[in-house]
Each structure stands twice: as structure tokens, then as C-alpha cells.
Amino acid sequence: MSELNLQELKEKLLAERETLINKLKGNDLSIDDSETPDPVDLAVRNYSKNVMLAVSENESRQLVLIDEALLRLEDEEYGTCQNCEKDINPKRLNAIPWARYCLDCQQLLEQGLLEED
């Protein structure tokens, strides 16, 4: 854990959280359909609405991961794989501060071999 600067990671997480929240708020504004629609415009808008909803789903999910990571920081459990309980590689955490799993378990997850709680 000595390679990790927890304060710095916390700041990264908080900054990322802020960005996501702003994006999600921005999406809400841009899918406001209260103006009079013309049919072509409407089709375009429905399309981008779907794209944006998909994006917000990813973003909401990431927001949950970030909140969890912040909680783990508070509990001083940060940096431990949520599956095998080994320390997560500090380089990985510096790149993805909200990572829940070590690289091995992440690969298992991506192959569908690990069930998320």
C-alpha cells in the first residue's frame, strides 16, 4: 500500500464523481422534449436520447463504483480485491481508482466466470 497516495486517490475520485454528476445533469437537460417537435428533429432527438440514456446508464454505474471506493477509503479497506481479498496492484488503482477487483478477478469477471454481488 505504500505506493498509494490515498489522499490523492480520494481527490481523483471526488473529481471524477463531480464530472459524472455534471454529465448526468447535462443529459437530463438535453432530453427535455418540451419544445414543439418537428418530425425529422424528433427522430434525431429520439436517436440521441437513446444513445444518451445508454451513456447515463454507464455513468450511473460508474458513480456507484466511485461511491463504493470512497466508502472503502473511509473504512481503510481501500485497495483490497472484493473477490479474493488480495491487494490490488497500486498501478491499477492509480489508473482506475474505483477498481473493485484485482486484475485476475477482473479478467474472470469479464469472462463471465465471476459473479458480482
Tell me how far, at minimum, the Cβ of 92 lies from Zn ion, in Å. Answer: 11
Q: Name the site residues for Zn ion (rule: CB under 5 A).
A: 81, 83-84, 102, 105
- 25 burial class (0-12, 13-18, 19+ CB within 10 angstroms)? exposed
- Residue 52 or 81: the one with the smaller Cβ distance to Zn ion is 81
* DSSP code string of 50-83: HHHHHHHHHHHHHHHHHHHHHHHHHTT-TTB-TT
- Residue 1 or 54: the one with the smaller Cβ distance to Zn ion is 1
Q: Which three cell numbers stand for residue 32?
A: 427535455
Tell me how far, at minimum, the Cβ of 74 lies from Zn ion, in Å. Answer: 21
- Residue 20 or 88: the one with the smaller Cβ distance to Zn ion is 88
Tell me how far, at minimum, the Cβ of 112 lies from Zn ion, in Å. Answer: 16
